[in-house]
Every structure is written in structure tokens, then in C-alpha cells.
Amino acid sequence: MSAQFEPNIVAFLCNWCSYAGADLAGTSRTHYPPNLNVIRVMCSGRVNPLFVVNALQQGADGVLVSGCHPGDCHYMEGNFHARRRFTLLRELIEYVGVEPGRFNMSWVSASEGAKWKDVVGEVVVKAKEAGPFKQFRRDKINW
Amino acid sequence: MVDVEKLKKIARETISRDDVRCLIGWRQGSYGFRAAPHFVGKPEEADQLIFSPLCSHNLATYLTLAEKLPVPRGQEPDTRKVALLVKGCDSRAVVQQLVEQGIRRENVLVIGCPCRGVVDQKKVEAKYPDMGAAVTADWGEKTVIFNLPSGRVEAPREEVLAGKCMTCRYPNPLLADIEAGDAVAVWGSDEYTDVREMEAGDPRQRWLFWEEKFSSCIRCYSCRNVCPMCYCEDCILDRLNPGWVWRSANTSENTAFQLARAFHLAGRCIECGECERVCPVDIPLMKLNRKLTKEVREKFAFEPGTDPESKPLQASYRPDDKADFIL
Amino acid sequence: MDIFKLRKDKFADFLASLGGYKLFAPQKVGESIRFAPVTDAGKVELALANTTVPPKSIFFPQTETLYRYALGNTEMHPPAEGEAGVVLGVRPCDARAQVIVDNLFSWDVDDPYYLERRKKIAVVGLACNKPCVNCFCLSVGGDPASTEGLDLLMTELDDAYLLQPLTEKGEKLSQAVAAVAEAAETGDLDEAEKLHRQAREKINRKVETDGIPQKLPGLWDDALWQNTAASCLGCGICTFLCPTCHCFDIQDEVEGIDGRRCRMWDSCMFKEYTLHASGHNPRPTRRERTRNRINHKYNYFVQKFDVIACVGCGRCISFCPVNIDIVEILRQVKEAR
Amino acid sequence: MNNKPKIGVYVCHCGINIAKTVDVDAVSEFASRLPNVKVVRNYAYMCSDPGQLLIRDDIDKEGLNRVVVASCSPRMHENTFRKTLAAVGLNPYYLEMANIREQCSWVHEDRDEATAKAKKLIYAAVAKARLLEPLYEKEVDVEPASLIIGAGIAGIQAALDIANAGFKVYLVEKTPSVGGRMSQLDKTFPTLDCSACILTPKMVDVANHPKIELLAYSQVEEIAGYVGNFDVKVRKKARFVDVHKCTGCGICAQECRLTGRIPSEFDMGMGKRAAIYLPFPQAVPAKYTVDPERCLFLTRGKCGKSPKCADACSAGAINFEQQDEIVEFKVGTVIVATGFDPFDPARKPEYGYSDYANVITGLELERLVSASGPTGGAVLLGEGENAVVPKDIAFIKCVGSRDKSVGNEYCSRVCCMYTAKLAHLVQEKVPGANVRIYYMDVRAFGKGFEEFYDRVRREGIRYIRGNPSEIFKRGDKLVVKVEDTLNAAPLEDEVDMVVLAVGLEPRKDAREIIDILRLSQSTDRFYLEAHPKLAPVDTATDGVFLAGCAQGPKDIPDTVAQAKGAASSALVLLSSGKVKIQAQISFVNENTCRGCAYCVEICPYGAIELVAVSRMGNPVQVARVNEALCKGCGACAAACFSGSIQQKSFMDRQILPQIAALGVMR
């Protein structure tokens, strides 16, 4: 089953580092699977951890949050706050039964186009292994 | 131990002060093993105050629950203090509310009641079904004494006390303007066995467990309204724009609701166990919240409600926060 | 209509004989007992005094689709026709409550969803032998063995159930019973009568309710409401678990381009219940809401339908986190000058 | 335009960059079926003039009030298209872009996959476009004045540049005189210019410039406000001398009971001064200052019958009742030029700096060779009569730099060249001196540096590659234990004097400025610039700039260049008189805010504060955003449990529909 299964992944990228790194992967014409779709935010600190729960509800099979390496944040501290919040959120959703491969976080700087390609590859593989997300997905439950 | 007569005297003196608006304590309930929050406005009303193993309510929630009515023109808002009886766990709620400026120190007067554990309603009602009219209770050596209609009985505390009391490390209030009794021994110890046992399973088993629990939730929001830390003026769950969580009661929305609440309590839950106590459909909410209190203790060496000077966990960071899962 | 005696060991066969119907009965859902479709007769639990969630959840589900639609076009697709069903093990107070709620759902507008289920689903009652500590049905015109709102009344004897059909629907059910049960003897009837009498004596919560509907309007600003509401948490337990509470909210849910309009339980104890778009709230604090809950059941409903919208099931007393006791409130209303 | 969304979707081919792997027609057809989409066009180059004209015409003719451009990355052309909208009167923030080039057509080969993804990205962009709100880039006036903290060469240069451009400058210097570290130098490398000769004229200019208000012997106490509107409080410390009356004649210092008995900081403790002093002869302003810790009258309340300095002063300038004075003013920009502290070699005990008198630092040697120094320029060891001219002199480099053990991993950039310079000066002043330099590397990277290094070696100064391990006394000689790594020969050279080329460290009082301006420090603890390569003089706080060694060790040419850079950056703001404020900032719903101050804690810019408001008569605390300080990172919005604080253009109710769009897609 997971061979044909193409996971749908929602990614939150910070504008200054990860989004720029993803753009760089584009300008250098690297290739990676199309399963991942990006929502741009100004800083990984803006990503409300409940977005991840909401994304899993609204049809995402995997979620990625990517920001600047610690110390590089354009706003100095946003990624530090994100790291603490998502450390907690990851523990919580795995505790209720979300497979570990579904939620991922990464540091990708504006100059790491190649790393972005690897990160996308890894996230897609993990989501494919975890299979379609059914646990608490909104799926017209007893409509 | 807390001598109830001394407590009543303290209460009478406190409520007579003109800078105290009301005093909140407990009184005997209207049936069985129940106690009820008791709002003392006048000294004579203090006579009904009790302090016994039935006093499971965390009264700190009333500090932030009370609505602020519009002040009629020309009148001054009533800034008199609210006096509050607090057990050990309750006092942590007051401390955490102070840390988050949910309340101001000058508006609350804390009366500390060292506590030797409160009963779990379900355990007691199962053990003594023929409860009938109000049953008073008291602490024995390592037991709890109940005065049933059929006579006095004594049960070992492990059989009747709430789960949170078995793992309680703070029976003595951490913050008190007035001490209503001298400190008691700490006998609980917390290895988070309930959490570790759940962590041991694989994701599929865990989801089967939580799916059954969350799908039975009827969204009465009593777990949110009883919680001393849930005091948002306008909770995101009640909002339509943006509609974070839909109002229909099904597995998806209920899970999103419970995850949102558990996450909003990360680094804030002081494990008073009220959410689990009040849940009408008995969802093991402490088993959910304690996962995060364990993580917060292990990963950030942080215990909410223990240090009035601390910064809230989710509003601070350390450059060397450990996070090994980041790609 | 003749009364049948069904041996307890034949109970499973009785359930099987109701195969044609969609059967609901009290079962453990999560950690508490409520009415749910029966898939395994062994799981049915009739021992408890009462279910946590009342059988109203069968006729008036917590979340119910009114109709479905697709963005961009205006057709409305109502849900499919309900099938015939039987809800079994309903306590007389809950059955009476459903009759009271019928008044509302067939008042100025006949609610198609609710009334269709009321028509299609038969109610099999189970007389109370062991009322719980907070039951006070006798004080509000109820009875542990009342037959109001029931199609068939079961009374549990030592090793058998007495089945007494009460309506044609009950009669139709009893034909299915006939195959597995025998006629009841007079001894059984006397035994049942004795059990009913004993049950009445066991009810020790009493309150004088006559005169209360007339007295309540005068107590509009009485301190009683403020004192009671001081400890109220404003949660939805007392309303969601109350068999006569019937308030609901209507909302839309859209997934992609498919949407549905759905109705779900709402509670007058919630702040948002009366919150106006302007921000004004006619019932801003828990005082007004507590006053409203009591007045609705013991005053407004009485003025409209001449029946108290409370059946004394005691759930709001047993499950209130802070032990706000409606019997105590009514007593204070009675005593207030 | 009522705000019922009327959306125009513009799909760009980008020549073949997009069109090759994304079926732009299929995507356009898909977009046309989306609710609220009124116009869909696809064109070869949307960013071109004709492309932008398409958008402008549609806004005019079709009354569009939202625009979605599916093309390249917003980092490329977001501003271009915002200007397009603004050109026809549509609020520029009614724009949403879908990145179907860098993150779609360029990275996926399969045409169907790329087309499907492009549809999904457009579907999400339209979902957000429906909920966009107009934003207005607020403009703030810039106070036409600048504050410069620190009057070393960096501060002086920046002050002169800004003042010469016609703007008021407040130059604040902590010590009694301007000049900073450079005034302590004798000669400067590589040109051997006399430091005072090139510095003093600038010091005088600074003192006399009509546009510069010099606040010497003063300290910045507080800076509030934001770019263009900084409210500054400066404490003018009491000199106990009336600067208007004092002529700088110096009689008071001669008469002072403690004359010649107090170590002079300027001369690194080698020279002496009185309790009332002028730091150095060419000090500007040339006014005397009473040292409050050492003056007998101020410390013990009695100086003989009456203070001798006051009696001697013919101008009657000395006034012991003088108090500190707080000066308040408003400025538009701030330049931090607070300089550095030399490394204290006592932290490297193996060099024996605190044990042996003739182990000195480079800066101390600088004072010895200086004509205005304590020895009038003679390289002498010891006091008075038994002072002796050292014959064998050793220099040790990288003392306190490139050294993890003292926490300074960086190279201080200047020690190699000042060591060569000092070695040359010593060689010149002490005929027949035997000078050697122990080094790990020689970094002569600047203009004229290599030539100077070559010249110094040709003058007989021996460079021995080795890092001395220890210095100890043997008889009246000092022994330098070192291994000559080129010849692999362990040496124990006996010398008369050792000069330690100490590196540059952040000032000990760096913390004060950090707290006042919320600057942050880079890992080497110097102040953090906004971007090491592209914004070296800017800081994270708009309107605050860095110049000189405060931002990191550098020599005088680099310092002056940076000072002029900082001045020009400041002048951009000062001359325009207006500054645009970030539009995508946060705002608080004060009705639902509970005042828990999570956002206040989290904001790295201190842009949010708790204010007391009356909510229908009840005093409550709510958060409020200072629109000029907020940078629009949104960290506060994610921390707020009730969502009372939101970031414009990235509000929860704008992001959730995006998530929904990316989740379920037909």
C-alpha cells in the first residue's frame, strides 16, 4: 500500500533562512519529491504549535517546521522559542499515538540549498513509511 | 495538621478585616462524600468551614474565574483582597498565577492548609455504596476515617485517596500569608509510572487508548473551566473566527481540543488533578497532562508554581535547550 | 395487554429477536455508561442506577447533520431516513423527560429530525429498583415505575424481567417477546408491585415544588442566585447531562468544497451562549445563568407547557464538580420570603 | 472598494522557467473555478512592464481588490508587485504570491506532479488572499540629531561627518577628555605618523564644531523610544571645576597636596598625577577634573585648613558643591563607538606580568616611548636614579588573543603590526638594542603592512617562531623559555625587558550599553552587528549603529572607515527626515488580552509593554505594541494562548485557511 501512497506534507518555513534555502535549492535546479507544500512565515517563532495539530486534522500526512540555525535568527530569538515549543509538542502528539516520522523540524540556512533537498527527501520518506494519517483527521466524521 | 476550630477562628478574624472582600474555603457537601466550595462573606458564615479529606477542590480557580462587572459611574472598583484556603497543590496554582500576572499579590490573601491527601470520589463511592446523607471524614494515621450512616469506618489511604496524592511532593503550601496548621510529612513520590507505562506501548496501541477516551468526550469544558490555569478572557475553542476547533463532538475535534489544552498547560500545569476529578465521562486527563509535566521536568528542570520569581517556561528559552530530533 | 415474564438467561435471545430494529442500550463508552448501538448483547449494562449521558442523546444527538451542500451550488441534501429502532433500559424519569422535551420540539415548529426519531424509535423502560442518592423524581411528579413516555416497561425480578407493553409500539415489540417469554403469573405482578413500593421508600431526597413556579419571578434579585453561582464553574455538565435540556447551536463545517450545516448541544451556562455580536451579554455572569437555568425549568417552561422541565434524575447534583445541588436551591426558593 | 474579495490570479510563464514543467493553461483554468476569483491571466513575464500593466488594467477595469501572482519567490518580486498595486491605488498588501518557480517548476521534473503542485500552491494563495487586510506603512519623523557614545577616533570621526552634514551631534565621552585609546599611542603603523599629530586636530574640531555638543566626563543613563525618536538621558558627572572659568593653567594641580602621588590612568599607572588633573597635555576639553575617590577634601571632608587647589586658582573655578547633572534630549539616531579594553596579562600568570616590573604590555611601552609619556620618550626600566636602559628586549605576541583558555578565540588584528612598530621604535631609541619577537604567525594584511614588516626585519629585529611557555627571573635578567619551532631548538633567552603584545577585549562595562540599547553580543562578546558581511555597521535595532572596536578588534584605518560608514547610515535617516516602519507588525485585542505578559517576555525588541487600562471601570493590565519597535517576527502571536496578539498578514485566521487549502485538495 505505501508504495502508491503519496503523503501530503505541509511545511512552515521562516522567510529569512529556510525559505531562502529552499529558493536556493530551486535556483541550483536540485530535484526533490513534490509532496511538500510550503507556507511562508516571517520567523519559525511565529509557527503556533497548534498549527501542526490543525494541519494533521486538515489532511496533512506529515508536517515540517524549518527555521534558522540557533544564533542566526533574523529576529535573534525566534528559533530558540520554536525549538522549546516543538520539543514539547512532539512529545505530546507522539504520546497520543502520532507516529514519530510525521512531525519534523529542521534548521536550514539561506545558503543550504543542498541540505533543504535532503531534508525534504527524508521527511517524505518518513511520512511514506508512516502511511496515510487517519488518527484524528477531519474526514466528514458521521456527516 | 490543621485544627478546624483554629481555622474557623482565623477565618472569622480574616473576614472581619475591612480590606478582605470574601474568604473562600470548603463546607460539607449536600450528600455522600461531597464537600463544596464555601464563600464566607460574614464572620458567622465561617462556622460551616471544614478541612477534611473531602476538600478536593482547588479554590485558586476562583481568583481568575470571577467576572469583573462594569463599575457604575462614580463608584470605585472593589479592590479588597480575596482570602483563599489552599492545600499544597492549590498553593502552586496561586504561585503560577502570580508568575503569569493572572492575579496581583496584593489582591489575594493566602491561608495555607498543610494537607494529608484528599479522597477520590469514585473510589470511595465504589467502596461504600450506601452513603446516603452527608458523610464527614477525617485523617487517621495512614488512613482516612469516614462517619457513614452505618457507623465509623477507617480505610487505608492507598484505597481511597486520589491518584495525585500518591505522587504528591508538595503537601505543605509553598506560599501562605497565614499558616493554618503546622507542616506535614511528605510521603508521596513521583516516578511518573503512569506516563512511562503509556510511553512503553507503540503508537498504534497508544492511539487506540486515547481514541476511545477522546471520542467519549462530550465537550462540556468542565476540565477547562475548573482549571486554575485556564483563564483566558476568550478561549480559542469558543471562537468561530478563526475556527481552530469545530464545535461538533467527534474524535477529530475532541482530540484537537484535548491536545490544545494539554499543550497550553505545558510548563503551567501544577498537577492539582481537578480536570480528571470533574470529568463526567472519566477521561484520564492527568495521564495526558503529566506527560508534559514529566518532559518539562526532565528536559527543562522546570516545575511550575514553585518559584514566584521564575519566568514562564513558554515565554523563555535557554540557548543550550536540548533538542536532538532537529534535522 | 398481557404481561410477559422473561427469564434473565433468555435476555440475549430477546435482544436477538429485536433484530429488525436498530437497538440502543446502556453500555460502557470510554470510561462511563451511556446509550449506544448494541453490537454485543454481553456489553449491555442495566445494573447502574442511571447512565451518565441520558437517552436524550439518541433522540437529540450531541452533533447532528441538518443538511449537506457543496460550495458554489445551493442544493441541500438532508441526511438519510432514520431506521426503526428500540432504545432499551430507559429509566422512567428519562422517559418522562423525553415527553417533556417533545413539547418544545413540536411547539411553534415541528422539528423534523427529532420528531422522526421519536416516531421511529420505541422506548423500553426499566423500572428503578435502587434509586440513587440524588434521585427526587417523586417531588416533581415522577415515579420509579411510572410508565409515561414508555412503550414497554420492564421490571427486574430476581431471575427474570416482567415486560408490560403499554402502547401499540410496545405491543408490536411484545409479539417478538412472546417467542422467548411466558405469561407472567399474579405472584410476579405482586412481586413487581412490592419492588416498586420499596423503590419509592428508598427515595430520601424530597422537596416541595408546588408554588415554586409562582414564587420564582419575585426572587429575580434575591441574593440566593449570587450565593449559589459564586462557586459555579460555568461548565456544561449540568445542562449536557440533563435529560430535559434541549438547547442547541447551529454551525457550518466545510471540508474542501463539501460542507454541512450541523446542530450541536449548547449550554446556557456557557458565557458565549448569550454573547451578542456587539459584545453585549444579557447574562454576563454566572449569577444570571444559574438563575436562568432554574427559572427555565421551574418557571418559563411551566408557563408555556404547564409542566416542570425537571424529572428529578439527580444527574446535575451527582456530576456537578462543585456540588451545586438543585434540591437545595429549590428548598431555598421555597423558604425565601 | 468594499472588501468582498474580487481576486485576480496571474500565472507567469517566466519564459520557459515555469512553463516548461508547469502546464500554465491547466493551472489558469483551475484557478478560474475557485470562488471569488474574477480574472485569471497567464503571461510570459509577469514582472515585466507589460506584465504589470495587465494587473494595473484589471484593477482599474474589473475592480479587483485582491491580487495573486503565481510566479517566482516573493523574496524576488514581492516589492515589485506591491508597487504595481500601489501605482493604481490598491493597498500593496492585498497581494499574495505563489512560488511556483523556485519551489515548484525548478525542483520537479514530472509535468503532472509540478502542475498539480502549482494548483495546490495557488489554491492556498487564493485562500489567504481572500482574508488579506490593507496595511499602511506608517511613517515616523526623524529627529534631526544624533547621539554618539564614546569619543575615541571612531566617535570623533562619526561626529565630524554628521556635524559637517549639518546635523546636531551629542558626543558623550565617559572620561574627562576625548581622544580615547588612540591618544595614548605614540606613533601609528604603518606610516609611523605621530598619533597626537593626526588626532589632536580632529579633537579640537570636535570641541569647536558649532553643531557638536560635547558632553565629556558624562555617561548615558537611559535611551528610550525608537528609530527617529530616541529620548536620551545623560549624566554629566561633577568635575568640581567650573568649565567656563577654568583656563587650564594647571596651577591647581601643582599646588595639590597629592601632586605626583596618584598613578595616571592615561600613562597606564606609570606616570603620576595630582588629585585634580588633566588626563594628558593635549586633552580636549582642556579643563581640570577633581578625582572624587582620591581628593582629600572630597573623601575626608578636610584638606588642611582649606583646599590648596581652590586657594591657588586665580579664576575661582574650583567648586566642591558641584552636583552631577542629568541632561535630556531627543535624537534620531545613535552610534555606539565605545571602543575596547586591552587584555590584562595578569590572566596569563606564566608570563609573570604581575611578578616582574620589567614585563610590560605594548600599551605601557607605547607610553614609555611617547614624548608626553612619564619618561619623556626614554625606554627606561625602574624608578628615578637606578633606572636603566634595557639592552635585550623580547616581544611576545598573541597574548590574550587566539587563546581559548582565556575565552578569546579571535585574532585582535592589530598586535602584529603594533609589535613591529614598537620594536622599530625601541631599536631607534636604544642604540645597539638586541630586539627579538616571538610569534606564531605574522598577520601583515593591510595597505603598507607587509612592506613595513619587511623593513623592520631588515633593521635587524629577529623574528623567532615560537610561543614562549614561561618567563622567570635569573639574577637581574629575565629568562624567556621558548622553542624555536623553525629550528626545533628549545631556547632560554635572557633579556632585560619583555613586552607582551596584548590583544583587544570588549570593555568591562559593555553590559551597560547592552541594557540601555538592548544590543546583543556575538560569540566573541563584542556588540553584534545586523549582518557580518552586508550590514556590519547596523544593529538589529533600527537607527542604532556600531563603529570601531565596539563591534570587534580593528586598526585605526578600519575604525575610521567604519565610523564614516556608520555616519553615512545615520545620515540616510537624518537627511530623509522620515523613516518607514515595518507594516506587518503585531497588534493586540485589548478586550481579550489577559495581561499575562508572555508576549512582553518573548519580544526580543522590547516592543510590547503592559499598560494599565480600565475595562468598564475595572483596572486591568493589557499588552500594547509599540508599532515603531516591532519588527514583525510574530513570536508573540505564537505564544499567546488566547490569540489576543496577532501579526498582520500572518494572522491565525489567515494561516489556518492556507493549511486547509494544502490539506484537502480536489
Q: Is residue B128 part of a domain?
A: yes
**Which domain, by its residues, includes A108?**
9-130
Query: What distance in Å separates residue B186's CA from the closest CA in chain A?
Result: 29
Residue D2: is its pLDDT beyond 70?
no
d(C-alpha B264, C-alpha B250), whole Å: 21
Q: Is there a contact between D433 and D426 (Cβ–Cβ < 8 Å)?
A: yes
Q: Is there a contact between B95 and B175 (Cβ–Cβ < 8 Å)?
A: yes
Burial D471-493 (b: 16+ CB within 10 A, else e): beeeeeebbbebbeeeeeeebeb
Question: pLDDT class for A109, splitting at 50, 70, 90?
Answer: confident
Enumerate the residues of chain B whose CB falls inside 8 A of the CB of residue D638: none
Query: Do the Cβ atoms of B264 and D641 come within 8 Å?
Result: yes
Residue D535, all three cell numbers? 550590514
| Tally of domains in chain A | 1
d(C-alpha B119, C-alpha B127), whole Å: 12
**Which domain, by its residues, includes B62?**
4-69+80-179
Enumerate the residues of chain D whose CB falls inside 8 A of the CB of residue A40: 74, 99
In chain A, which residue's Cα lies nearest the Cα of C260?
Answer: A143
Q: Is residue A140 part of a domain?
A: no
Tell me: do B279 and B150 sit in the same domain.
Answer: no
SS (HEC) of chain C: CCCEEEEHHHHHHHHHHCCCCEEEEEEEECCEEEEEECCCHHHCCCCCCCCCECCHHHHCCCEEEEEEEECCCCCCECCCCCCCEEEEEECHHHHHHHHHHHHHHECCCECHHHHHHHHHEEEEEECCCCCCCCCCHHHHCCCCCCCCCCCEEEEECCCEEEEEECCHHHHHHHHHHHCCCEECCHHHHHHHHHHHHHHHHHCCCCCCCCCHHHHHHHHCCCHHHHHHHCCCCCCCHHHHCCCCCCCEEEEEEEECCEEEEEEEECCCCCHHHHCCCCCCCCCCCHHHHHHHHHHHHHHHHHHHHCCCCCCCCCHHHHHCCCCCCHHHHHHHHHHCC
Of D3, D46, D62, D154, the C-alpha closest to D566 is D154
d(C-alpha B285, C-alpha C216), whole Å: 39
Instruction: List residues in chain D touching C: CB distance below 8 A.
Output: 35, 591, 664-666
Residue B69, all three cell numbers? 462587572
Share of chain D above pLDDT 70, in %: 99
| Residues paired with residue D224 on neighbouring β-strands, in sequence order | D231
Question: pLDDT class for A2, splitting at 50, 70, 90?
Answer: very low
Identify the structural domains of chain D with CATH numbers, from first to last: 7-135 (3.40.50.960), 145-237+324-339+506-578 (3.50.50.60), 251-312 (no CATH), 341-505 (3.50.50.60), 586-648 (3.30.70.20)
Q: What is the CATH number of the domain that holds A62?
A: 3.40.50
Tell me: do B204 and B124 sit in the same domain.
Answer: no
Question: pLDDT class for D665, splitting at 50, 70, 90?
Answer: low
Of D114, D108, D48, D40, the C-alpha closest to D80 is D48
Q: Is residue A50 part of a domain?
A: yes
Residue D45, all three cell numbers? 513575464
Tell me: do B13 and B156 sit in the same domain.
Answer: yes
pLDDT in tens, D564-612: 999 999 999 999 999 988 899 999 999 999 999 999 999 988 899 999 9
pLDDT in tens, D612-655: 999 889 999 999 999 888 989 999 999 999 999 999 999 999 99
In chain D, which residue's Cα lies nearest the Cα of C254?
Answer: D660
Is residue D329 classed as helix, strand or coil in its secondary structure? strand
- Does the CB of D164 have a partner CB in chain A at under 8 Å? no
Q: Is residue A142 part of a domain?
A: no
Question: pLDDT class for B66, splitting at 50, 70, 90?
Answer: confident
Query: What distance in Å separates residue A132's CA from the closest CA in chain B?
Result: 13
pLDDT in tens, C177-214: 887 888 888 888 899 999 999 999 999 899 999 999 99
Query: What distance in Å separates residue A36's CA from the closest CA in chain B?
Result: 16
Query: What distance in Å separates residue C253's CA from the closest CA in chain D?
Result: 12
Tell me: do B202 and B154 sit in the same domain.
Answer: no
Rounded (to 5) percent helix, strand, coil in chain A: 40, 15, 45
Query: What distance in Å separates residue B93's CA from the closest CA in chain C?
Result: 16
Query: Do the Cβ atoms of A142 and C255 come within 8 Å?
Result: no
d(C-alpha C112, C-alpha B103), whole Å: 49
Tell me: do B107 and B214 sit in the same domain.
Answer: no
Sign of CA dihedral A81, A84, A85, A86: positive
Enumerate the residues of chain B whose CB falls inside 8 A of the CB of residue C34: 216, 281
Question: Hey, which chains touch C, using 3+ CB pairs under 8 Å?
Answer: A, B, D
Residue C287, all three cell numbers? 449569577
Residue B7: is its pLDDT beyond 70?
yes
Q: Which residue has the cell 414508555?
A: C150
Enumerate the residues of chain C whose CB falls inside 8 A of the CB of residue B36: 231, 322-324
If you count DSSP H runs as helices and E runs as strands, how many of each does chain D have, helices first? Answer: 17, 34
Domain boundaries, chain C: 4-60+69-202, 212-335
Tell me: do B208 and B94 sit in the same domain.
Answer: no
Across A42-57, average pLDDT = 96
Within 10 Å of residue D83's Cβ, how many Cβ atoms?
12
Determine how β-strand D229-236 pairs with β-strand D218-226.
Answer: antiparallel
Q: How many CB pairs under 8 A join B and D?
A: 71
Sign of CA dihedral D259, D261, D265, D266: positive
C-alpha dihedral over D194, D200, D205, D207, to 10 degrees? 160
Looking at residue D522, its pLDDT comes to 79
Query: Do the Cβ atoms of C71 and D591 come within 8 Å?
Result: no
Q: Is there a contact between D546 and D118 (Cβ–Cβ < 8 Å)?
A: no
- Amino acid, single-letter form, for residue C168: E
d(C-alpha C296, C-alpha C310), whole Å: 10
d(C-alpha C40, C-alpha C307), whole Å: 38
Q: Is there a contact between D144 and D328 (Cβ–Cβ < 8 Å)?
A: no
| Mean per-residue pLDDT of chain D | 93
User: Of the residues B129, B155, B179, which one is the last residue of a structural domain?
Assistant: B179
Query: Do the Cβ atoms of D596 and B311 come within 8 Å?
Result: no
Looking at residue A1, its pLDDT comes to 47
Query: What distance in Å separates residue C156's CA from the closest CA in chain B?
Result: 20
In chain A, which residue's Cα lies nearest the Cα of C258?
Answer: A140
Looking at residue B132, its pLDDT comes to 79
- Does the CB of B211 have a partner CB in chain C at under 8 Å? no
Share of chain D above pLDDT 90, in %: 81
C-alpha dihedral over B63, B64, B66, B71, to 10 degrees? 100
Query: What distance in Å separates residue A94's CA from the closest CA in chain C?
Result: 21
Query: What distance in Å separates residue B73's CA from the closest CA in chain A?
Result: 41
Enumerate the residues of chain A whose CB falls inside 8 A of the CB of residue B327: 104-107, 119, 122-123
Rounded (to 5) percent helix, strand, coil in chain D: 30, 25, 45
Which pTM value belongs to this model? Answer: 0.81
Is residue D189 classed as helix, strand or coil in its secondary structure? coil
Q: Is residue A59 part of a domain?
A: yes
Residue C68, all three cell numbers? 449537506
Share of chain C above pLDDT 90, in %: 78
Across C267-296, average pLDDT = 94
d(C-alpha C296, C-alpha C238), whole Å: 13
Looking at residue B68, its pLDDT comes to 85
Enumerate the residues of chain C whose CB falls inside 8 A of the CB of residue A138: 255
- Name the maximum alpha-carbon separation found in chain C: 68
Of D5, D157, D21, the C-alpha closest to D96 is D5
- Does the CB of C259 have a partner CB in chain A at under 8 Å? no
Q: Is residue A138 part of a domain?
A: no
Tell me: do B260 and B292 sit in the same domain.
Answer: yes
| CB nearest to A95's CB, from B206, B253, B319 | B206
ipTM for the predicted complex:
0.93
Instruction: List residues in chain B touching D: CB distance below 8 A.
Output: 68-73, 75, 77, 79, 100-102, 231-236, 239, 241-244, 264, 311-312, 314-316
Could you give the angle at the alpha carbon of B275 between the alpha carbons of B272 and B278, nearest 5°? 115
- Amino acid, single-letter form, for residue D110: D
Question: pLDDT class for B188, splitting at 50, 70, 90?
Answer: confident
| Mean per-residue pLDDT of chain A | 92
Residue A75: is its pLDDT beyond 90?
no
Q: Is there a contact between C311 and C97 (Cβ–Cβ < 8 Å)?
A: yes
DSSP letter (8 states) at residue B320:
T
Peptide bond connecting B242 to the previous residue in cis, omega within 30 degrees of 0: yes
- Does the CB of D129 have a partner CB in chain A at under 8 Å? no
Across D232-250, average pLDDT = 94
Q: How far is CA D507 from the centre of its chain?
A: 13
| CB nearest to D664's CB, from C71, C256, C279 | C256
A71 against C260, higher pLDDT: C260
Residue C82, all three cell numbers? 432514520
Query: Do the Cβ atoms of A59 and D663 come within 8 Å?
Result: yes
In chain A, which residue's Cα lies nearest the Cα of B295?
Answer: A88
Tell me: do B86 and B215 sit in the same domain.
Answer: no
- Name the maximum alpha-carbon separation found in chain B: 65
Q: Is residue B320 part of a domain?
A: no
Tell me: do B129 and B203 sit in the same domain.
Answer: no
| Tally of domains in chain B | 2
Across C109-133, average pLDDT = 94
Query: What distance in Å separates residue A42's CA from the closest CA in chain D?
Result: 6
Question: pLDDT class for C1, splitting at 50, 70, 90?
Answer: low
- Does the CB of D601 have a partner CB in chain B at under 8 Å? yes
Tell me: do B303 and B237 sit in the same domain.
Answer: yes
Enumerate the residues of chain D whose CB falls inside 8 A of the CB of residue B70: 616-618
Within 10 Å of residue B44's Cβ, how many Cβ atoms?
10
Tell me: do B243 and B268 sit in the same domain.
Answer: yes
Q: Is residue A109 part of a domain?
A: yes
Q: Is residue A3 part of a domain?
A: no
Residue D477: is its pLDDT beyond 70?
yes
DSSP letter (8 states) at residue D241:
B
Tell me: do B158 and B46 sit in the same domain.
Answer: yes
d(C-alpha B11, C-alpha B9), whole Å: 5
d(C-alpha A73, C-alpha C241), whole Å: 51
Question: Hey, which chains touch B, using 3+ CB pairs under 8 Å?
Answer: A, C, D
pLDDT in tens, D310-333: 999 999 999 999 999 999 999 999
Enumerate the residues of chain B whose CB falls inside 8 A of the CB of residue D656: 242-244
Q: Is residue A70 part of a domain?
A: yes
Residue D1: is its pLDDT beyond 50?
no
